Chain A
Amino acid sequence: MNKIAIQIEGLNVELGGQEILSDIHMHIDDGEIAFIIGPNGGGKTTLVKTIMGLVAGKSGSIKIFGRKNTSSQVAKTIAYVPQYTTIDRTFPITVSEVLEMTYKNTKPSQILSALKEMEMQDFADRKISGLSGGEFQRVLISRALLNKPKILILDEPTNNLDAKTQERLFQLVKRLNKKLHLTIIVITHDISIISSVAQRVICINRKLECSGVPHEIITPEVLKKVYGVPLAEYTHEHGISGKHSKEEKHE
């Protein structure tokens, strides 16, 4: 039987008096790549923020490797890669400095090793303002790897990335999963990449709509249930992309 990385029982979350998540029961196995999908405002990001203790649940329990999600347990086990668009990339800071600030007394060899995992070692002295979206995303994943986490959470990592860059990113993510036995959770709108990467798909729309292996979940019927519109009508405006159509933004 697989070890469970994250176990959630009866989770309810309210923000500003509004119910965001209702009675969530789910688990993610150790070493699994799990994708969380669902419409905008469905509570995907709130769910991972609650797992990390950034948002307080109203009721229910969250366990990470069998222990309550206290701040020390989260800091010890989870690494989080936020949407890179939330970070000010105009600031004059180098790739090495981004990694250095994360931990006290980080050694240059640790930084280089983390950058190597994402094939970014040649960019160590470059300013982040000169990186493309895909390169910066890889820097953030390198940073997340510094403390040798057991769980890696990626929040919409493919936003504004073109198909080629997305594919390269997920090749590296799959390699990390195998090499480091990392449990990886990906929040995404992009269903086109799920089948080739995910081992589990979790659909959230205020409540748990479905959870299972990709071929069971990525069907027109299930997706219509989750998003409320037929697959053919999915567009980016609905918050979902069924094909690679976005262009990487270079600065």
Chain B
Amino acid sequence: MNDLINIISQPFMQRAILGGLIVASMCAVTGVFVTLRKESFISEAIAHASLAGVAIAFLIAAQPLWIAVIVGVLTSLGITFVQKRSNISADAVIGIFLTVVFAFGVLILNLLPGYRPELTSYLFGSILSVTQNDIWTSIVFLVPVLGIVAVLYRPMLFAAFDPEYAQVRGIKVGLFDYLTRIMAAIVVVLSIKLVGIVLVTALIVIPASCAKLFAAKFSQMIPLSLLFAIISIIVGLFASYFLNVPSGSTIVLTAGALFAVFGTIRAAWAHTRE
């Protein structure tokens, strides 16, 4: 118990926990809409594209998170624009953006002089890497993300659930396509400090999928998703500390374990009712 109090009293752990709670709330809210729209693969593309943002930030000595957010948002807008204006399938467009922007990031990183040890934390996440600045940056984005969902919850849900009829009812479905993806881009990029570029999609998809297993109605999706995201992040952070491994792996493995356990329980329960 003393060990636990000792760990929590460490400033880096406090920052990681606070950052984790902010990220959990954004991932829970956004993940529900991303999974409802079947757009999980987009978060993967945004995460990989954000490497280019980090690389550019290294090059121009700017705040990596801000530049990564800009690159992530531009990538999500680019994917949506090309998807709407061409006859190329969605998965192909995402695949093109993912690889090309990621390749651009790799190219810039290789042009930079010297070794960048902090790069590993961007790729796989690290509890030590969350700075006070990152917390403030996350709060700056948390407010509009939660605000948008609170105000536009109904039309966002309608546009995701049945876009064709939503359009007939006068909802600007195209606008919500862009809005949801911009939100996904922001959330994904803000999560990479904890989970890493390679694993961040899990934080969008797994809590929402766990919530889907148990939600009796849609209004329960966000609270349940939030609960699973918080458990994954907090347990994952402590595991990262004790095992001395990147936090991305422990957070995602915790989320995966929750999904496996609750998925099995749900399947067994459904089986007994048949």
Contact = CB atoms under 8 A, between A and B. Distances in A.
B158 A127 contact: no
A242 B219 CA distance: 43
B161 A54 contact: no
A74 B169 CA distance: 8
A71 B170 contact: yes
B81 interface: no
Interface bin, chain B = 20 to 34
A80 B168 contact: yes
A226 interface: no
B154 A54 contact: no
A92 B212 contact: yes
A1 to B, nearest CB: 29
A86 B34 CA distance: 18
Interface residues of A, number: 30
Contact of B164 (A78, A79, A86, A92): A86
Given A91-B36, A92-B220, A80 B157 contact: no
Contacts of A86: 162, 164
Contacts of A80: 164-165, 168
Interface string B127-156: 000000000000000000000000000100
A94 to B, nearest CB: 5
Interface in A38-75: 52, 54, 71-72, 74-75
Interface stretch (A19-27, A98-106, A166-174): A98-106
Contacts of B217: 92-94, 97, 125, 127
Interface in A112-169: 125, 127, 143, 147
A97 B220 CA distance: 11
B168 A97 contact: no
A97 B217 CA distance: 8
B96 interface: no
A87 interface: yes
A52 B219 CA distance: 30
A49 to B, nearest CB: 8
A82 B87 CA distance: 23
A104 B157 CA distance: 12
Given A88-B36, A91-B218, A92-B212, A101 B161 contact: yes
21 contacts: A16-B87, A52-B168, A71-B170, A80-B165, A82-B162, A82-B164, A86-B164, A88-B36, A88-B161, A91-B212, A92-B212, A92-B216, A92-B217, A92-B218, A92-B220, A92-B221, A93-B218, A101-B154, A102-B158, A102-B169, A127-B217
Interface of B: 36, 38, 87, 154, 157-158, 161-162, 164-165, 167-170, 212, 215-221
Interface of A: 16, 52, 54, 71-72, 74-75, 78-82, 86-88, 91-94, 97-98, 100-104, 125, 127, 143, 147
